[in-house]
Structure formats: structure tokens, C-alpha cells
């Protein structure tokens, strides 16, 4: 144990000092959130048709009579045998948010390059009810940066493949692909709005920007050991039915 042991009064003093910094962080986050809302919009003129449980749907139809749409591009490529475990943990987090976002004029759904039957089978295994559509027959994921061709991946990945973090090989094995096949998919969060019949993209994020939908990290950040990942970044994450 390398932490000082103090009295309750001394702990409260230290906690109050930290609280001042936490409040500054919260206020800075409010300013950043406002800046996100003030980003310019991009009109989506290209037509996309997705395979859904209810049949083919356009991007506008995915809003489900709401004015805002949040799409999580879940890594489940056409060559995958199962969805990415880390992405699956994110879907676990999103599952419980859906009714609350729906009540606030936001439709939340998943989109992947895998075929609809593969998506349906995996969703049943995971016990999710969140809408999940296939973009297999569209350029949607490619156009929004969530998918690449294997040739594109090899161009940038081959020179650095030996220095990629261990989680890449682990996730490739877990999805039944090799590293290059796995990296054809990327995790993204993209938001849209529907105004007077026109769809606009309003925001997108990836990498550590996705921690907003990885709720377990914000909780771990408040525990004594924290994330406790070190060089094993995300290697502890599993599909929720695969933990020992």
C-alpha cells in the first residue's frame, strides 16, 4: 500500500481541493459541448438504403419520426465471424440509454457492414433490443470513415503492423479475421438531424472520443485502481457472456 493514511478531516480537505478541479473540468466540458452543438452541418445528398428488421430503409427513415439520430458504427465487418468484443461492450452501454434518448427526440441505433442475418443472430446472442441495421449494400460506412477496403488498410498498416497495440491482434482473433481484415472496420459515432426532409450530419468522433459511450471507464476512473490497463490497453474487455 503506497497511499498515505489520514484522518477523516484531512481526507475531506484533500477531497475539497480535488472537487475544485473537478468543477473546473465540468465547466470546461460545458463549453466544449456548446462548441459541438455550434458546428456547421453538412447536407447528406447521397441516397443510402439499409437492410433492417422491417425491410429496406433510407437514412431519413431511420430517424423513426424523431429529429435527431445517433449512429454507432459497430465493428462487425462482412468477413467477421462475430462483432468486435470492445465494440460489443459499447453496445452493452448503449442498450440501457435508448429509451431515455428516444424520449428526448433522439433515435439511437447501431450500423455495421455485416449482413442482416449475421447481425440478427449476434444481437440475439447478446440479448440486445437496440435497433441494428446493415449497411452491407451501401457505401454508408465507407463514406463516413467507419470502413475501408483491405487494400487501403494494407497501405498504411503493413509498415507498422509489428508496432500495433496488442489489442488489435486480440480483437482480430476474437472476430475470426486477421489484423488487416479486422482493421477494415473502425468504431465511429456519427450524429445527424432531419430538418424539412433533409438529413444533415452534425458531429462525429472516434478513438478516445468514444469514451462518452464507454460508461465503465468513467466509473473505473473513480476507483482506487483506476483503469489498471497499462500496456494491456483494453485487453481485459470481453463480450459480456465470455467473462470467466
CATH number of domain containing 66: 3.40.30.10
Would you state the pLDDT for residue 91?
A: 98
Task: State the chain's mean pLDDT as an integer.
Answer: 97
- In the structure, what pLDDT confidence band is assigned to residue 231 with cuts at 50, 70 and 90? confident
Number of domains comprising the chain: 1
Would you state the pLDDT for residue 1?
A: 63
- 60, pLDDT greater than 80: yes
- In the structure, what pLDDT confidence band is assigned to residue 74 with cuts at 50, 70 and 90? very high
* 23 domain-assigned: no
Task: Determine the average pLDDT of the residues in 44-49.
Answer: 96
* 11 domain-assigned: no
Contact in structure between 214 and 93 (CB atoms under 8 Å)? yes
- 158, pLDDT greater than 70: yes
Q: Is 137 exposed, middle or buried (0-12, 13-18, 19+ CB in 10 A)?
A: middle
**Structural domain for 57, as ranges:** 42-232
* 237 domain-assigned: no
Would you state the pLDDT for residue 230?
A: 85
Contact in structure between 136 and 147 (CB atoms under 8 Å)? no
* 37 domain-assigned: no
Q: What is the pLDDT of residues 80-134, one digit of tens each?
A: 999 999 999 999 999 999 999 999 999 999 999 999 999 999 999 999 999 999 9
* 111 domain-assigned: yes
pTM of the model: 0.95
Residues written for the chain: 244
Task: Determine the average pLDDT of the residues in 188-198.
Answer: 98
Would you state the pLDDT for residue 182?
A: 98
Give percent above pLDDT 70 in the chain. Answer: 100
Q: How many helices (H) and strands (E) does the chain have?
A: 9, 8
Q: Say which residue the cell 486480440 belongs to.
A: 170
Amino acid at each position: 500500500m503506497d497511499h498515505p493514511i489520514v484522518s477523516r478531516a484531512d481526507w475531506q480537505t484533500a477531497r475539497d481541493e480535488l472537487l475544485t478541479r473537478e468543477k473546473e473540468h465540468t465547466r470546461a466540458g460545458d463549453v466544449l459541448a456548446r462548441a459541438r452543438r455550434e458546428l456547421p452541418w453538412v447536407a447528406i445528398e447521397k441516397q443510402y438504403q439499409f437492410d433492417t428488421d422491417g425491410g429496406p430503409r433510407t437514412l431519413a427513415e431511420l430517424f423513426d419520426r424523431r429529429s435527431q439520430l445517433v449512429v454507432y458504427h459497430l465493428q462487425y465487418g462482412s468477413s467477421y465471424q462475430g462483432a468486435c468484443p470492445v465494440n460489443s461492450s459499447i453496445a452493452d452501454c448503449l442498450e440501457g440509454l435508448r429509451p431515455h434518448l428516444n424520449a428526448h427526440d433522439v433515435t439511437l441505433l447501431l450500423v455495421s457492414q455485416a449482413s442482416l442475418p449475421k447481425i440478427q443472430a449476434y444481437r440475439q446472442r447478446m440479448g440486445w433490443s437496440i435497433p441494428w441495421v446493415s449497411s452491407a449494400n451501401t457505401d454508408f460506412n465507407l463514406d463516413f470513415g467507419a470502413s475501408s477496403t483491405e487494400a487501403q488498410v494494407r497501405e498504411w498498416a503493413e509498415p507498422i503492423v509489428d508496432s500495433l497495440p496488442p489489442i488489435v491482434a486480440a480483437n482480430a482473433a476474437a472476430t475470426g479475421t486477421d489484423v488487416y481484415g479486422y482493421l477494415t472496420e473502425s468504431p465511429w459515432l456519427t450524429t445527424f438531424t432531419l430538418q424539412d426532409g433533409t438529413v444533415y450530419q452534425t458531429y462525429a468522433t472516434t478513438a478516445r472520443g468514444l469514451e462518452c459511450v464507454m460508461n465503465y471507464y468513467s466509473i473505473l476512473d473513480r476507483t482506487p485502481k483506476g483503469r489498471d490497463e497499462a500496456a494491456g490497453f483494453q485487453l481485459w474487455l470481453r463480450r459480456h457472456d465470455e467473462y470467466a
